[in-house]
Structures are given as structure tokens and as C-alpha cells.
């Protein structure tokens, strides 16, 4: 199926034109198109060039192809895409091509991972933007009634407020108790938000739009010049899957206690995890024999994965930093305190997920589980 870049972008963005604020134009409007390729202006920018996918096979567009492949490979390997928005032309054109490559791969977990990586990139950039820019992007790109303000309440300084109806619709996507309406400040139909929370909502929308565009591309066939590059991307996927398979065969998934299994399943689905859930999972895996590298590989699924930060935290929990001993996994009582305990009849007599795990392993080995 021949696909032009403008047509591909139509499924990614809303047709409402964006009128940039002065803050957005302070440097160059094209830089902002490169930072946020979901902007409606991007379609016009690309459309004026009238490019098709096959046009990108020429040497003239070799940097665009390399960057598109780089975006996909970074997302697969590490769960993030870096920012090169100063390379405006390459950055703008490489995004729809990267989406096309992911559609050609036709692998739902990879599609989700790529969408999360690109949305994470956008969210990190938005955190550095003036609040008025975030407000404008929310309205013109996603139709959200997000308003920039400065509202002081107790020790908190709120940066935004969001219409109650929009918040109710969106909050269900977040598992952390902090997103429950009962834990928010609501006044005159407006829910007050910190900037990190507002950007988190935009990140969710960006991820959904990218994933929708990939899924709605249908059964696409890749041009000949892309086949070799797609084979290279698939080999990276295969290596990553083998690494994960080696990790999972080192321990028994069937023997995981209910609490650990629940957190692990959320990790596999690419769901963001609260800090204590991450600590619990890391300390558990390290104590049942997984290596630091294997734990790092598992955590690369997280939408906010930061390789260096995650490696530091894993080494700290493993007792290799900070001069502390290796942390053990939290007890059942501690997990109850943090709302992570999913006690069943099987683990009533247990005081620790570690003990529960090894008990289940022994029962499995004897064929009694």
C-alpha cells in the first residue's frame, strides 16, 4: 500500500490549525514542530513537500531514514527516544516514517513500546515549556480544557486546572491513588493540577494517538528499500525477546506470590509503577537470583524508563552503592501498609513474599502445586 507522509500524519493529528504563542516562536516555529510532531501545523509543513515513502529512498533523505530507524531502535532497546529537535527537517520527516516502520513490523507490544517512548520524549520537553504553551497544546492538539494558572493552597502551588468532566474521563487510566478524585482539590468544576500531572495527561493522549495511528495503518507492505532495515529492526526485537526469555526461565512465573505477580503483570503491560512497587519488585527479583542486568532489562518496559537512574537504583538495592547491605524484599505486613498485598488462602501463613515464592517452587518441583 503506497502511503504519502501527509496522509499518514492525518491519522495522527487533529485538523484544527494551531496559532503558536509568542513563547513558542521565540526561537523558531520549525523547532517546535520537530519537538512535537503531533501538532496540526506539522501536516501542512510535510504536505507542502508532497513526499511519498518511496521518495525517502534517495540519498538526499538518507539522514531522515537513519533517524527514523534510530527512533524505532531506541524505543525497542531502551524505551525512550532522544531529542534532536535542532535538526528540524530530519526530525519532522523522520517521525511519520518511524511510525510507518512500526506499522510494517506489525507487532502489538512493539507498537505500544514505540508509542510510549515517543510520548515520554514529548512529556520531558513539555516540562521545560512555559505553562501557556502547555495550555495551548492541550487545547489545540487534544481538545482538553486545561488552563494555566497559579493557585496556592496550603503548601502546594498548582500550575493548571482541568475541567471536571475531562479529569474523570482521564484519571481512570492512572493506577496511583494520587489520581483518585478524592485526593484532588476540586473547586467550581475545576480540578487543580501540578505541572507534572498536567504533562502526564498530555503524555497519555500522545501515546494513544500514536498507537491509534499505527493500528489504523492496517496491513501495510514495505517498499523494497526498507526491507533490509526492517530485517535489522526485527533482529533487535528477537535478541531482546531472547534476553527476556532467559530471565523468565531463571525463575518460576507460576510460583510468584499474588502481590508480586500483580506488580509484574503491570510492568509487562508497560504501566507506570509507583516508587514502592518498583522497590518491591527489584528487591524481590534480586533476592530470588536474577542479576542486576536482568532486572534492568525487565524494567526497560516502563514508560518512564531511565537507564542510568534505574541502574543506580538497582545497584543501591543490591547493596553495591551507599555502603548498605543488600535489601530484602518487603514483608507481607509492609506490603499491606502500602496497599500492595493481595492475600489469598495460599499465603495466609506466610510473612514474606520470598518465603511464599520458595514454598511454591518446592511444591511445583514435587508436583504438588
Q: Please determine, for residue 19, whether its predicted confidence score (pLDDT) is greater than 50.
A: no
Residue 234 has a pLDDT of: 92
Q: Are 100 and 57 in contact (CB under 8 A)?
A: no
Per-chain mean pLDDT for the chain:
80
Give all domains of the chain, ordered by start, each with its CATH number. 5-126+221-238 (no CATH), 131-204 (no CATH), 251-365 (1.10.579)
Window from 6-15, 260-269, 271-280 with minimum mean pLDDT: 6-15
Is the pLDDT confidence value at 249 over 60? no
Q: Would you say how long the chain is, in residues?
A: 369
**Does the pLDDT at position 2 exceed 90?**
no
Residue 176 is predicted with a pLDDT of 60
Give residue 86's pLDDT band: very low, low, confident or very high (50, 70, 90). confident
87-140 pLDDT, tens digit per residue, is 888 999 999 899 999 999 988 888 988 998 898 888 888 888 889 889 988 887
Q: Which runs of consecutive H residues, i.e. helices, occur in the chain? A: 5-10, 29-35, 40-47, 62-78, 88-105, 108-126, 131-142, 164-171, 195-216, 224-250, 258-268, 275-287, 292-299, 307-317, 332-337, 353-365
Contact 287, 329 (CB under 8 A): yes
Cβ atoms 180, 171 nearer than 8 A: yes
More confident site: 360 or 214: 214
pLDDT digits (tens, 9 = 90+) for 294-349: 888 888 877 777 777 888 888 888 877 655 567 778 888 888 888 888 877 777 77
Question: Would you give the DSSP letter of residue 329?
Answer: P
pLDDT tens string 181-229: 888 888 888 899 989 889 888 888 888 889 888 988 777 788 888 999 9
Per-residue pLDDT, averaged over 171-187, amounts to 75
Q: pLDDT confidence of 15, banded at 50, 70, 90?
A: very low
* Percent of the chain scoring above 90 in pLDDT: 13
Structure-model confidence comparison of residues 71 and 306, the more confident one: 71
pLDDT at 296: 87
Stronger pLDDT, 203 or 78, i.e. the higher one: 203
User: What is each CA distance from 55 to 16, 58, 102, 186, 221, in whole angstroms?
Assistant: 28, 6, 18, 52, 16
Mean per-residue pLDDT for 144-162?
Answer: 86
Q: Distance of CA 264 to CAs 1, 135, 273, 335, Å? A: 39, 35, 10, 15
* Residue 24 pLDDT exceeds 50: no
Evaluate whether 185 touches 101 at the Cβ level (below 8 Å).
no
Q: What is the mean pLDDT of residues 264-291?
A: 86
pLDDT of residue 68: 94
pLDDT at 78: 75
Distance CA 262, CA 152 (A): 37
Question: What pLDDT is stored for residue 319 in this prediction?
Answer: 78
State the pLDDT at residue 95: 92
Instruction: Provide the percentage of residues in the chain whose pLDDT is more than 70.
Output: 85
pLDDT (0 to 100) of residue 329:
83
12 pLDDT more than 80: no
Average pLDDT over every residue of 252-256 = 80
Amino acid at each position: 500500500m503506497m502511503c504519502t507522509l501527509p496522509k499518514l500524519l492525518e491519522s495522527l493529528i487533529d485538523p484544527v490549525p494551531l496559532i503558536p504563542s509568542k513563547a513558542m516562536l521565540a526561537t523558531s516555529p520549525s523547532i517546535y514542530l520537530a519537538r512535537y510532531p503531533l501538532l496540526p501545523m506539522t501536516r501542512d509543513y510535510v504536505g507542502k513537500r508532497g513526499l511519498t515513502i518511496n521518495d525517502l529512498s534517495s540519498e538526499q533523505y538518507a539522514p531522515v531514514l537513519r533517524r527514523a530507524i534510530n527512533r524505532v531502535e531506541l524505543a525497542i532497546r531502551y524505551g525512550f527516544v532522544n531529542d534532536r529537535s535542532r535538526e528540524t527537517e530530519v526530525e519532522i520527516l523522520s517521525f511519520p516514517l518511524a511510525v510507518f516502520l512500526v506499522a510494517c513490523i506489525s507487532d502489538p507490544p512493539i507498537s505500544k513500546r514505540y508509542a510510549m517512548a515517543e510520548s515520554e520524549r514529548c512529556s520531558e520537553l513539555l516540562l521545560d515549556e512555559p505553562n501557556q504553551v502547555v495550555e495551548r497544546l492541550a487545547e489545540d492538539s487534544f481538545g482538553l480544557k486545561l488552563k494555566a494558572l497559579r493557585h496556592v493552597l496550603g503548601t502546594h502551588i498548582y500550575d493548571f486546572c482541568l475541567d471536571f468532566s475531562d479529569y474523570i474521563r482521564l484519571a481512570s487510566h492512572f493506577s496511583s491513588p494520587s489520581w483518585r478524585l478524592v485526593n484532588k482539590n476540586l473547586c467550581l468544576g475545576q480540578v487543580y493540577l501540578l505541572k507534572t500531572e498536567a504533562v502526564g495527561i498530555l503524555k497519555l493522549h500522545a501515546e494513544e494517538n500514536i498507537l491509534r495511528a499505527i493500528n489504523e495503518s492496517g496491513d501495510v507492505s514495505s517498499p523494497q528499500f526498507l526491507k533490509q532495515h526492517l530485517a535489522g529492526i526485527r533482529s533487535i526485537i528477537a535478541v531482546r525477546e531472547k534476553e527476556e526469555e532467559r530471565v523468565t526461565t531463571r525463575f518460576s512465573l507460576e510460583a510468584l506470590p499474588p502481590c508480586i505477580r500483580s506488580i509484574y503483570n503491570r510492568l509487562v503491560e508497560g504501566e507506570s509503577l509507583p516508587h514502592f512497587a518498583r522497590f518491591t519488585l527489584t528487591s524481590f527479583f534480586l533476592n530470588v537470583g536474577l542479576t542486576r542486568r536482568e532486572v534492568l532489562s525487565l524494567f526497560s518496559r516502563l514508560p518512564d524508563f531511565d537507564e542510568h537512574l534505574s541502574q543506580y537504583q538497582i545497584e543501591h538495592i543490591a547493596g553495591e552503592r551507599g555502603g548498605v547491605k543488600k535489601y530484602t524484599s518487603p514483608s507481607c505486613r509492609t506490603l499491606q501498609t502500602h496497599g500492595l498485598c493481595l492475600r489469598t488462602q495460599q499465603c495466609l501463613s506466610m510473612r514474606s513474599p520470598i518465603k511464599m515464592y520458595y514454598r511454591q517452587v518446592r511444591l511445583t518441583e514435587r508436583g504438588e502445586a
